[in-house]
Amino acid sequence: MTRTDHLETAATAAGRPRRRLRAALSMLGAALLGACAAVGPDYSAPPPVSMGAGWSQPAAAASGPADLAHWWRTLGDPVLERLVDGALAQNLDLRQAAARIDEARALRDQAAGGRAPAVAAGASVNRRRQSENGPLPVGKVPGLEATQTIYDAGFDAAWETDVFGASRRALESAGARLEAAEAEAQGVRMRIVAEVARAWFTAAGAADELRAQQTILETLRQTLGLVQQRQAAGDATVADVDAAYAQWADADAALPGIQARRRAAVLGLGVLLGAPPERELALLDAAAAPPSLLPLPVGERADVLRRRPDVLAAERRLAASTADIGVATAELFPKLSIGAGGGFQALATGNWFDSSSTRFSILPLISWRIFDGGRVRAEIRARKAAERQAALAYEKTVLTALGEAEQALGDYHASLDTLERRRVALDATRRSHDHAKARYAAGDIALIELLAAERLLRVAETAAVRARTDAAIQLAALYKALGGGWDAPATAPAVAAAGSGALPHSHATRRKP
């Protein structure tokens, strides 16, 4: 039986009146001689999580992992780099996350301070009169005045020894929550980078789409003019004019939506940079080079769990919940505190600090909650239930991270496939347009047929622009899902992979309290 098992057995025996004192003394002596054992479970890493057979996307098996920490710099877009740098410096969500880290660090320091003695100093002058008819016969004691002025100065110190590790467990809990706050802050950083990239890709893509749509509109305007001329010459009907006008009006109606989408993205960038929305309106006139869109080597699936801040934060919250059990368990056992005080006290200032005016006291105290209606044990059960919740939350976070990475990987490769097909369609449409130009130059077709071929070309160009924008947005989502956008520490907790099977509900085998 371990020392901690002995402590729990003694605490149970304390409920028996005849053995209460003997149990208290034996537990206290064993704890003091055993260098302050910490009750409660010792934290151990979560169990392996089933990772399956690897990525479900064959294209993900490219050689070597990509540089995820500063992935936006690999795209060769100086505007994007400036926007991301500005957001990382000024974003309000990031500044709130930094404040939460400061709060968690202060709470950790507060828990650490609870293990040290508390010392207070003070001084007082007390003018008082005692009753001559009270329990103290002031009037009958020669030289003792009923009215006195008492001068007092000194200090008081109090220290509760951490015999059963309550303070130690509290410090472990606060330290783990600090690390969780730091991981969550990195998660905010990762999200902000992805949102900035998404907003910029949306704005730049909308600008390209707007130019393509305006070209389509100009082509349809020319077509409408030709149909109107033919109608005036008697070669076309009013219905032909209405049909041509309807096509032009439909293309014209699409312009406000594209412009609004572009403006909304730029306004969103201003807020992401911690500034008024109109801060980046100048980007409406900026040109952006299309980002490099290539298959991304993503490494092993386990790398995702080592990089994802939400997984790291969930693991640290689980560690904090484990330590909380020890804090609650320590309430089952006696507490030893020592109080000391000293100073000077006199009835006159002339001899206030003389050696004969010194006072001191030492007060060791043992307190024990023998009966409290079961509140301590109820708190222990609550802390254990909270730990089980944290373990299940960790497991869910792991599975969610894998699911998001798989989905983002599939969406990105699907968008690359769509982009490639749109490019094939665009090349075919360009060849068809070149044939139409040649036939028009030879006099084989009318101008209206050439304009129809040109309209099809512009529609294909617009579709390709949209496909490229969607692929760029999916690239940002993939980097986010993989945990990119921050420097993962080399000492990040490793998450082992299990062969198969369901996730367990109990995350570790631990030493009993």
- Model confidence at 58, pLDDT cuts 50, 70, 90, reads low
Q: Which residues contact 448 (CB under 8 A, 6 or more apart)?
A: 223, 226, 227, 230
Q: How far is CA 46 from CA 123, 165, 316, 400, 431, in A?
A: 54, 23, 10, 16, 60
**Average confidence (pLDDT) over 216-231:** 90
More confident residue, 360 or 11: 360
Statement: residue 17 has pLDDT above 50? no
In the structure, what pLDDT confidence band is assigned to residue 63 with cuts at 50, 70 and 90? very low
In a domain, residue 8? The reply is yes
Please, how many CA atoms are within 13 Å of residue 239, restricted to the half-sphere of its CB?
0
**CATH, residue 154:** 2.20.200.10
* Residue 79, pLDDT above cutoff 70: yes
Q: Does residue 129 lie in a domain region?
A: yes
Return the pLDDT at 64. Answer: 58
pLDDT band of residue 348 (cuts 50, 70, 90) is: confident
49 membership: H or E segment, kind and range: strand 49-50
User: Treating both helix axes as pointing N-terminal to C-terminal, what angle do 447-481 and 375-442 enclose, rounded to 10 degrees?
Assistant: 160
What's the pLDDT at 228? 92
Question: Residue 445 and residue 434: Cα distance in Å, rounded?
Answer: 13
Q: 304-308, 315-319, 487-491 — which is least confidently predicted?
A: 487-491
Tokens in use for 155?
């200090």
Q: Are 329 and 5 in contact (CB under 8 A)?
A: no
pLDDT at residue 36 in the model: 54
Q: Which residue has the higher pLDDT, 264 or 487?
A: 264
Q: What is the spatial distance between Cα 269 and Cα 206, in angstroms, rounded to a whole number?
A: 14
Q: Dihedral angle at the C-alpha atoms of 18, 24, 29, 32, nearest 10 degrees?
A: 170
pLDDT at 244 over 80: yes
The pLDDT of residue 252: 94
How many whole angstroms separate alpha carbon 380 and alpha carbon 94? 36
Percentage of the chain beyond pLDDT 70 is: 84
Instruction: Select the more confidently predicted residue: 62 or 315.
Output: 315
pLDDT for position 293? 81
Residue 292 pLDDT greater than 80, yes or no: no
Average pLDDT over residues 355-371: 84
CA nearest to 114, candidates 162, 175, 164, 156 = 162
Please write the tens of the pLDDT for every residue from 206-222: 999 999 999 999 999 99
Q: How confident is the model at residue 310 (pLDDT cuts 50, 70, 90)?
A: very high
CB environment 17-36: b (16+ within 10 A), e (fewer): eeeeeebbeebbeebeeeee
| Mean pLDDT estimate for the chain | 82
3-state secondary structure of 146: coil
Nearest CA to 305 out of 314, 295, 293 is that of: 314
Residue 496: per-residue pLDDT: 43
Residue 327 lies in a domain: no
Number of domains making up the chain: 2
- Residue 159, Cβ density class (10 Å: 0-12 exposed, 13-18 middle, ≥19 buried): middle
Mean pLDDT value across residues 179-198: 95
Inform me whether the pLDDT recorded for 59 exceeds 60. Answer: no
What would the two tokens of residue 310 be?
């939400």
Residue 513 pLDDT greater than 50, yes or no: no
- What pLDDT was estimated at residue 489? 62
Residue-level pLDDT at 96:
95
Residue 344 lies inside a defined structural domain of this protein: yes
Q: Write the CA distances from 118 to 140, 174, 185, 339, 363, integer angstroms.
A: 42, 20, 34, 10, 14
The average pLDDT across 458-484 equals 93
**What residue numbers bound the domain in which 343 lies?**
116-161+334-367
Instruction: Determine, yes or no, domain membership for 25.
Output: yes
Cβ pair 50, 502 in contact under 8 A = yes
Over range 151-170, report the average pLDDT.
86
pLDDT at 337: 86
Q: Is the predicted pLDDT of residue 22 greater than 70, yes or no?
A: no
Q: Is residue 5 part of a domain?
A: yes
According to the model, what pLDDT value does residue 23 have?
A: 47
Closest CA to 448 of 184, 224, 257: 224
Residue 366 has pLDDT above 90, yes or no: no
- Across the range 32-41, mean pLDDT stands at 65
Token pair listed for 37: 């054992």
Q: Look at residue 14 and tell me whether its pLDDT is greater than 60.
A: no
| pLDDT of 26 above 80 | no
pLDDT at 372: 81
Residue 180 has pLDDT above 60, yes or no: yes
State how far the alpha carbon of 483 is from the alpha carbons of 71, 158, 404, 426, 474, in Å. Answer: 11, 48, 10, 35, 14
Q: Is the pLDDT of residue 444 over 70?
A: yes
483 HSE (CA, 13 A, CB side): 28
Q: Which comes out higher in pLDDT, residue 136 or 416?
A: 416
47-51, 98-102, 194-198, 406-410: least confidently modelled range = 47-51
SS3 content of the chain, % helix, strand, coil (to 5): 65, 10, 25
pLDDT greater than 70 at residue 120: yes
Domain contains 154: yes
Residue 20 above 80 pLDDT? no
Quickly list DSSP for 333-387.
S-EEEEEEEEEEEESSGGGTTSGGGEEEEEEEEEE----STTHHHHHHHHHHHHH
Residue 417 CA to residue 404 CA, distance in Å, equals: 20
Range in 173-177, 247-251, 353-357, 401-405 the model is least confident about: 353-357
**CA distances for 107 relative to 79, 98, 170, angstroms:** 40, 14, 10
Residues 309, 311, 312: CA angle, nearest 5 degrees? 65
* Residue predicted with more confidence, 377 or 58: 377
pLDDT (0 to 100) of residue 446: 85
**pLDDT confidence bin for 66, thresholds 50/70/90:** low
Please indicate, yes or no, if residue 352 is contained in any of the structural domains. yes
Instruction: Quick: pLDDT tens for 335-347.
Output: 888 888 888 888 8
Strands (E) across 161-245 are located at none
Give the per-residue SS3 of 199-211: HHHHHHHHHHHHH
